[in-house]
A = this chain, B = another copy of it.
Amino acid sequence: MCDIVTHNWGVDFNIISPMENLPRILNIHESTINDSRYQWSSEEHGQYKSEETSIFQFTLSGCGAFDDGDNVHRLPSGTAFLTNTMDKHYRYYYPESLTERQVVLWCNFQSSYSMKMVEEINSRFGYIFHLPETTGIIKKLLDLKSLQESYSTMLASENAKLASELLYELIWSKEKENTGNIETVLIEKALQIINTNSNRLYNAGELADKLSISREHLSRVFKRQLGISPYRYIISSKIEMAKMKLRNTSIPAKSISHELGFTSPVQFTNMFKKDSGITPGNYRKIYRGK
């Protein structure tokens, strides 16, 4: 009888003086899945405790299947999934119909911080990622095979670096797909207009006009891409510029107000106070004394 899974090689990481707020990668393993009885899901994980981790699994050859609750994704070579083991949605399996054995590289993350990050990645980008096998971090993980050790002692920062490199690479693979899309280009243009016209104080309507789109559309895109309204973004960046000038120069507040395009020193003082809780004059005093 053939084993359901064959363990090819693996390294467990021991961390000297672990830190709570760093992402943490526990291990890296290569396995061959021989048999369609193989499967994972949160339901199975839920049957025993102390296994709350995140799993990343990358297909080296063959093909598995990942059910994210809405769709079943095939996982051919160069495809990966990332999920928390306690995520209710997922089920990973090796379809009966397949004959080629699947070879996978997998690792676990563990730390409250990495699990939060994985949750956010899943909710924004889904569970499935496409990475060529030549991707830097995949090559680095495969190279660990040459250690020929079943464990490796690491410093907390070295381990966090490896964990972050993998997580950021996954995020980047999705962000890359989105760059050059219409919304990103629009935001880029908007920021350019705001930043190269530092002596103008646009309102959302004027900014939308310059971009030849509706004010409503601009607001939606800002909210989605930057998390704040165009108006709040413009005011915040003006106030930041004002603070820098107040801290670092002796230009009178009146002139700063004018330079930044506020209609009057009163408007400037009011907006500054609303944002920072104090007046521009008092702000300067804190940094520059009387």
Cα(A20)–Cα(B168), bound, Å: 14
A252 within 8 A of B: no
Are the CB atoms of B155 and A179 closer together than 8 Å? yes
Q: Are A21 and B120 in contact (CB under 8 A)?
A: yes
**In the complex where A44-B286, A168-B160, A248-B7 touch, is A120 in contact with B17 (Cβ < 8 A)?**
no
Interface status of A31 (Cβ within 8 A of chain B) = yes
Chain A 181-214 interface 0/1 with B at a Cβ cutoff of 8 Å (1 = within): 0001001100100010000000000000000000
* A175 and B17 contact, CB distance less than 8 A: yes
Residues of B within 8 A of A49 (CB): 276-277
Given contacts A164-B161, A283-B48, contact A21 B117 (CB under 8 A): yes
Would B156 and A171 count as touching, CB distance under 8 A? yes
Chain B residues within an 8 Å CB radius of A187: 16, 153
Judge if A219 is at the interface, Cβ distance under 8 Å. no
Residues of B within 8 A of A248 (CB): 3-7, 31
CA A287 – CA B150 in complex, angstroms?
A: 22
Decide: A19 and B277 in contact? CB cutoff 8 A.
no
Alpha-carbon distance between A277 and B176 when the two chains are bound, in angstroms: 43
Counting CB contacts under 8 A, is A247 at the interface? yes
Q: A50 CA to B10 CA in the complex, in Å?
A: 47
A250 to B10, CA, bound (A): 19
Answer whether residue A89 sits at the interface, using C-beta atoms and an 8 A cutoff.
Answer: no
CA distance A278 to B161 in the complex (A): 34
Contacts A171-B157, A288-B37; is A225 near B47 (CB within 8 Å)? no
By beta carbon, the residue of chain B nearest A116 is: B21
Is A249 close to B, CB under 8 A?
yes
Task: Answer whether residue A100 sits at the interface, using C-beta atoms and an 8 A cutoff.
Answer: no
Interface residues in A140-176 (C-beta closer than 8 Å to B): 150-151, 153, 155-158, 160-161, 164, 168-169, 171-172, 175-176
- Assess whether A172 is in contact with B191, with CB atoms less than 8 Å apart: no
Interface centre among A6, A171, A224, A240 (most CB of B within 10 A): A171
Not counting A16-B226, A160-B168, a sample of 5 additional A-B residue pairs whose C-beta atoms are within 8 angstroms of each other reads: A18-B226, A19-B120, A153-B187, A155-B172, A155-B175
Closest 4 CB pairs of A and B: A157-B171, A157-B172, A48-B276, A21-B117
